[in-house]
Structures are given as C-alpha cells and as structure tokens.
Amino acid sequence: MQLRYSFRLYPNGPQRSALARAFGCARVVYNDALRAREDARAHGDVFPKTGDLSRLLITEAKKTTERAWLGKVSAVVLQQSLRDLDTAYRNFFDGLGGKRPRMGAPRFKSRKDNRQAVRFTANARWKITTGGDLSLPKIGDVRVKWSRTLPSTPSTVTVVKDAAGRYFASFVVQTGPEEMLPEVAGQVGIDLGLSHFAILSDGTKIESPRFLRRAEKKLKREQQRLARKAKGNNRTKARLKVARAHAQVADARREFHHQLSTRIIRDNQAVAVEDLAVKGLARTRLAKSVHDAGWSAFVAMLEYKAARYGRTFVRIGRFEPTSQVCCVCGIKDGPKPLHVRVWECGACGAVLDRDINAAVNVAKAAGLAVSACRAQVRPGLVPAQRGEAGTHRDGQTTVVGIPGL
C-alpha cells in the first residue's frame, strides 16, 4: 500500500522566498487553467485538454511579459498544478455520478489560503543529499528534521506550508508485505465515547485527553488579541499566534490517536468498532466535544494500520443496539438514558457497565470471539495527564506520551 510520511522542514530566508515564488506560480497556473475551462463551459465549448493548457499557460506564457516570472520555478511544479486541477474535476464528476461522495466543484485558489503546497516528481530530479538535506530544483538544499527512516524510495515529495507558517515535506512511499506483524490471539471491540475516549471489550477504559478543552483559555486569549488588531503587520503576527495555538492542539490530538491506534493494532489480531454518525452528533450541543475527540480520524488510523500490518478490521452498523443488549445472556433490555452508566440485567441478574457492555457487544456483532465475563463493573485505568509542546529542531519528542500507550 502507499503511505505518506511527513517531516518538518526548516528553510532559510532565501529558500522561503523561493518556496513562496513556487507556491504563487503554481497557484496562478491552476487559476488560469480553471478560468479557461470555466469560460469554455460558459460558452458551450469543449473543455480544453491538459496538453493544450500546458502549452498555452506554461510554455507560451513564459514568453510573454506578464508571465515571464513563471520561468523562475521548476516546470514540474507547474505541470503538477494542472494535474491537480484534473483530479479536482474528476472527483467532482465522480461525485455527481455516484462513484464517490459528493464534493464541490473546483474553486479558485487564494494566496491567503491556509495551506500552500507544491509537488515535485522524479522528473524534477529532487534528491535527499548525503547530509540529510532535501535538494529541490531552483530552491536549494533545505534542512529536514528526520524522525524516522523511510521504508522505501519515495516517488514524489510535496512541500507544504500550513496556516501556522510551518513547512513540511510529505513523501509518498510504497510498502510491501515485509511489514506484516506476527499473528496474536487478541480480539477486541471498541466503544467510543466522550467521558472516556475509548472503552475496550477487555475492560480497559482510556480517558479522553480533551486537548481543545484544555487549551480553550489560551485560544480565547489569542483570538481576543487578534480581534483587536488593525490590518497590518501586528494583525499578521497575531493571526500566526492563533494558528500556532490551534496547530499545537491538532498535533497533540493526532499524536494521541497514533499512539493508541498503534498499540491496539499491535496487541490484537482483530479489531471491531461502531460506525458512528459523527456529522449528526456534530450538530448537537455536544458538537465541540465531538470534534475535540476526533473519532473519525482515530477510526481511519485503525483501518489503514490494520491493512498495513495484516490485521482484521470490522466496522459494524450504527443501528446495532450495543447499549441495549446484555452481553451475558443476549436479552434486549431496551434503551436507557445517558445518565444510566451501570445497570442490572432483568433476565440473568448480571451487573453491567454500560460502556464495557457496549464494547463487548460491538465485538460480538462483528463476529469476534470475546468473553463477556469482563463486562462486570470494575474501575477503569486512568492514564497520566499529557503534556503539550511544539515540534523542535533538537530532537525532542513533540508530545509527552501516556505510560502504557
């Protein structure tokens, strides 16, 4: 399978200027191509092909006074910008045809977008130097903070600048069957929640870190300062502070998801989760807590890591009555209010923890062989509080890990 590895870049002043020029040129070519196709659609003409657009908007445009500066960046970057537009149109039409979820039509890019990116393929002759720098055409050797070794030779590299002003190199690599993990006997069902982020069918309860809630005071202060700034350099600096505060929260949440999903996949041969209606829950009064938990990102990590390491991943339907059925005798007791966390089965008399019972039922609904004996009421494991920190150049870890995760 293909995987994407991202590493932090630290370009110097001239390299940042060269990257800004590359971002701008790629954006201009993309917008020119989009405008050409929209004009053709408005006049009822045939969409111009990518080859024609490349000749007109890149090759011929470089010879004009208005677009002569396109020659200052790698031509591969401009060609990939046209391919990105083709992909955007293809996804849009596939959504209309029902081949994939619907998405909006391609839109014009702005220099104020939160994310700027350019892509280099093998034709651009980029390389990783013996000193560990990333050599990019017409940009130079950019310093990279390597946190791991790439499993294979990457086919492309995408340089990304996020809203917080950080630069990343994103590599696409191909992995093979050598990454398969040895088989283990464990099978687990997972019930996701808000008070506890995840409850496993073996009785383990993992507290929700609530990264956004813990950072709300700092975010509120920085956003108030931004609101009071007039347009100019001070407002730009305040905007970057807000973006960095949000980036710290997102990075800490992503690190927590990665650590927990990796642990679950390594310890279990089969994993089952419930397909939650996240979009519906995000429209309720619990919306902030739902977004703070990041269930969808966590489940997506479980799914791709299971495929990568040779594990079984099962997603059961969202209408399965996991909280209404006794996992010991299988009797359906009916719906229960959310404040009822412990209940006694009227048929067999088992005293059940609502969340652990649901996790066991998730595993059973997926066809996994799990025992219901651990669904009895028992105290959950409370992990230590996590620390947050930014990404550093000195090799320090980005987030303090939870013992055992």
Percent of the chain with pLDDT over 70: 91
Query: Does residue 60 have an active-site annotation?
Result: no
Cα–Cα distance for residue pair 140/120, rounded to 1 Å:
13
Q: Flag whether pLDDT at 384 surpasses 60.
A: no
Please pick, among 32, 255, 353, 355, the residue that the annotation labels catalytic.
Answer: 355
Give the C-alpha distances (Å, rounded to integers) separating 221 from 263, 331, 375, 384. 36, 52, 44, 27
* Whether 66 is catalytic: no
The residues near 121 (Cβ < 8 Å, ≥ 6 apart) are 76, 80, 155, 156
In three-state form (DSSP H/G/I as H, E/B as E, the rest C), the secondary structure along 327-367 is CCCCCECCCCCCCCCEEECCCCCCEEEHHHHHHHHHHHHCC
Task: Indicate the pTM of the whole model.
Answer: 0.83
Residue type for position 260:
L
Q: How far is CA 231 from the centre of its chain?
A: 32
Burial 359-396 (b: 16+ CB within 10 A, else e): bbbbbbbbebebebebbebeebeebeebebeebeeeee
CA 172 to chain centre: 15
Mean pLDDT of the chain: 87
Position 377 scores a pLDDT of 43
Q: Strand 270-274 relative to strand 187-192: parallel, antiparallel, unpaired? A: parallel
The yes-or-no verdict on residue 373 having pLDDT over 70 is no
**Which residues make Cβ contacts (< 8 Å) with residue 231, sequence separation at least 6?**
none
- 342-344/167-174 β-pairing: unpaired
Average pLDDT on 74-87 reads: 95
- Catalytic residue of the set 202, 222, 274, 292: 274
If pLDDT is split at 50, 70 and 90, which confidence band does 340 have? confident
Looking at residue 369, what is its pLDDT? 65
In this predicted model, what pLDDT tens digit does every residue of 244-299 receive, in sequence order?
999 999 999 999 999 999 999 999 999 999 888 888 888 888 888 999 999 999 99
State the pLDDT at residue 319: 83
Per the residue annotation, which of 84, 191, 202, 303 is the catalytic one?
A: 191
Q: Work out the number of other CB atoms within 10 angstroms of the CB of residue 77.
A: 26
Angle between helices 295-309 and 233-267 (to 10 degrees): 50
Q: Which of 83, 67, 72 is nearest to 30 (CA)?
A: 83
pLDDT at 361: 85
Residue 274 catalytic? Answer: yes
Query: Would you state the pLDDT for residue 109?
Result: 95
